[in-house]
Structure 1
Amino acid sequence: MAIYTISHITRYTYENPVIESINEIRIFPFICKEQELLNQELNISFSPILHIYTDYWKNKVATFSILHPHQELIIENQLTVRTTSSNLIQVNFHSGFEQLHHETTNNLNLIELTKPEKIRNQHLIDGIVIKLTNEGLSVAETIERCSSYIFKHFKYVQGITDIETTVDEILQHKAGVCQDFAHVMLQILRTLKIPSRYVSGYICPNKTGMRGEGATHAWVEAYIPQFGWAGIDPTNNTWVTNYHVKLAIGRNFKDCSPVKGTFRGNCHQSLSVRVSIHYEDGKLFEQTNAVKRRDPLFIAGYEDTNLMGNQQQQ
């Protein structure tokens, strides 16, 4: 059990005034037994009215609009969260693929999450699957082998990918960050017909050597028969622990983007993100990132790319 106070400040600035900014945010801790929200303070420029709803994936979402001209938009989110995971490595999952097939058959919610994306180089994924599968392995053991394979064969390199990077491109680079590793793992698990979903959140390791601190993190949840959903982090090759704070789930990153929206205005925009994590022992980790985008000019749309370690540090 651990308590974290997390500050997440997203700042958009525009060269010229923009209008009719319409936004959607997923920055509320996911409601689940593994964590408890103790406090949240959300402050947004111009104090717009928030319209809150629960989306298809059961994420809490808020939308808001700023219609008048403005050259800056700041979204400041302060969270205090207690994680309540048992922190036990899930080596006791012995259920096999026959049981998985039994539980997924006629379950449309699970079937939906077993369908891999259509990519050009599916044969490369198929080759990885052959290396990972072994008769007699349980579903959980196969998931662990998948995480281990990505951890060993893909390099953690910031700045070479962004939110638009495809699985094909990640396979070519054989490198990326947490978001990329999660997308590759999803493609492999779904090729194996293991239901799996993307998770966005934070990792709060407090100098334990785990990768991804200081930005939003990404990992995977895989469905294990006779157990349910289990989180696994291929970036650090570990089952999810009390170091992980979950914000949103979905089929991929696009379902979980912390901030996205549109505006009217013909100008360049810039995006910076500051994340700080306060630990119970008094330690503080803080980092500010200036986010680079693939397209230099945005006239009517943006998405919070932060936050998966893809940005250049200031």
Structure 2
Amino acid sequence: MPTFKIHHTTKYEYDRPVSESMNEVKIFPYQCREQETLQHDVFITGQPEIATYTDYWGNKSGSFNLLHPHKFLSVESRLIIRTTSSSQLEFNFHSGLDQLQKEVAGNLQLIELAAADPIAAQEEISRIAAVIVAESTSVAAIVEKCSEYIFKHFKYIKGITNIETTVDEILEHRAGVCQDFAHLMLQILRSLRIPCRYVSGYICPNKNGMRGQGATHAWAEVWIPEFGWAGIDPTNNVWVTNKHVKLSVGRNFCDCSPVKGTFKGPAVQALSVVVAVSYENGEVFEEVNKVHLPGQPYEPMNGADNGVFAGQQ
């Protein structure tokens, strides 16, 4: 059972003082049988009191505010976590859509997570879904084929999308990053009435070349009949085992944003995110992202813009 030390820092700088900054954080490890939190410390500029609660999706969330004027805000998470899930898949590939619908019936949250969003390019989504279903029979096989389709037909390119990018735009680009591929997968599977949810977290593969390594990451979880939630990562075309660390789940990214908030004042803000993952063998992988906030002029923090946008990459 691997153990990871994850240091995640979100920094905001403002070109003039702001006040009444109110924020929500979802940087706490998700409580589930696949992972065990050994230690977790959170440090925030000004040491404000964090009010914690459990949200609709079962995520531990926190809220805090800084009322006094400030030009800098840092949210730092230091986590030691052990992943306890097996490296081998434990569910079967025999249960089909009929069995799935029996399990979904009467479960309001599963019904909600099986409903596709209305989009302009639904015809294209339906075409992709038809191709996937034609090659598969069980729910698990359909999910696997969906991941493979996205991995083969969409390019992984940083900087061309942001947290506001829609599935219609992803289809136009035929490219994106992990949060885009997760949203695309959710739309395809929900078109087939398969319950699925967005997952925010980290991938910790120890420099084996997987996309999204060392940064905040996103993937999907799908309800597999006679098993429950199973994670799959379309960015890397792999089922989730013990190399992924989960922070939060929801219908989409908006339910899982690690840090979001508002402030009072006309300031322009710059945002950077630093994630460092330490492995049991002593290796450390660190990634620094200067984040371009949609709809705002961008001023880099102590360095050049590397083209990475807000959200998970």
TM-score by length of 2: 0.94
Aligned to 2:271: 271
Q: Is the 8 A contact 2:148 2:234 kept in 1?
A: yes
Partners of 1:26 and 1:217 lie apart in 2 by: 13
Aligned-pair CA distance for 1:297: 5.5
Structure 1 residue 102: Cα displacement: 0.8
What CA distance in whole angstroms lies between the structure 2 residues aligned with 1:91 and 1:56? 27
SS in 1 for 2:119: coil
SS of aligned partner of 1:219: strand
Deviations 1:38-90 (A, max 9, x none): 00111000000110100000000010010000000001110000001111135
Q: What is the rounded CA distance, in whole Å, between the counterparts of 2:244 and 2:253 in structure 1?
A: 17
The number of residues matched between the two structures is 303
* Preserved contact between residue 162 and residue 311 of structure 2 (Cα < 8 Å): no
Shift of 1:296: 1.3
1:66 aligns with 2:70: no
Q: Which residue of 1 aligns with 2:198?
A: 198
Residue of structure 2 in register with 1:159 after alignment: 159
Q: Which SS does the other structure have where 2:218 is aligned?
A: strand
How far is 1:235 from its partner?
Answer: 0.4
CA distance in 2, matches of 1:84, 1:102: 30
Q: What runs of 5+ residues in structure 2 fail to find an aligned partner?
A: 299-308
| RMSD (Å) for aligned C-alpha atoms | 1.3
Range moving further from structure 2, 146-155 or 85-94? 85-94
Deviations 1:197-247 (A, max 9, x none): 000000001011211012100000000111111000000101002110000
Aligned partner letter, 1:222? V
1:218 counterpart = 2:222: no
The answer to whether the 8 Å contact 2:162/2:310 transfers is: no
Letter in 2 for 1:263: F
Q: 1:77 & 1:38 partners in 2: Cα distance?
A: 13
Paired position in structure 2 for 1:290: 290
Q: Equivalent residue for 1:171?
A: 171
1:182 alignment partner in structure 2? 182
State the AA in 2 paired with 1:149.
Answer: Y
Q: Is the 1:29–1:37 contact (alpha carbons within 8 Å) kept by the matching residues of 2? A: yes
What residue number does 1:30 align with? 30
Please tell me the residue identity of whatever aligns with 1:80.
Answer: I
Q: What is the rounded CA distance, in whole Å, between the counterparts of 2:22 and 2:76 in structure 1?
A: 17
Question: Is residue 91–residue 227 contact of structure 2 (8 Å, CA) maintained in 1?
Answer: no
Tell me the equivalent position of 1:83.
83
Structure 2 CA distance for partners of 1:307 and 1:277, relative to 1, 3 Å: farther
Displacement of 1:9 in angstroms is 0.6
Aligned with 1:295: secondary structure?
coil
* In 1, Cα distance between equivalents of 2:149 and 2:261: 36
Matches of 1:291 and 1:135, distance apart in 2:
40
Match of 2:147 in 1: 147
For the 8 Å contact 2:9–2:75, the answer to whether it is kept is yes
Query: Aligned equivalents of 1:46 and 1:173: distance in 2?
Result: 42
Q: 2:312 maps to which residue?
A: 308
Q: 1:136 Cα deviation (Å)?
A: 6.4
Q: Distance in 2 between matches of 1:306 and 1:283?
A: 27
Letter in structure 2 aligned against 1:61: S
Q: Say whether the 8 Å CA contact 2:257–2:311 is kept in structure 1.
A: no
Structure 2 partner of 1:17: 17
- On the 8 A contact 2:163/2:311 being kept in 1, the answer is no
Q: Could you tell me how far apart the structure 2 residues matched to 1:117 and 1:222 are? A: 17
Q: CA deviation at 1:122?
A: 0.2
Q: SS of the residue aligned with 1:308?
A: coil
1:10/1:271 contact within 8 Å kept: yes
Q: How much has 1:134 moved relative to structure 2?
A: 2.6
Q: Is 1:202–1:213's contact at 8 Å kept on the other side of the alignment?
A: yes
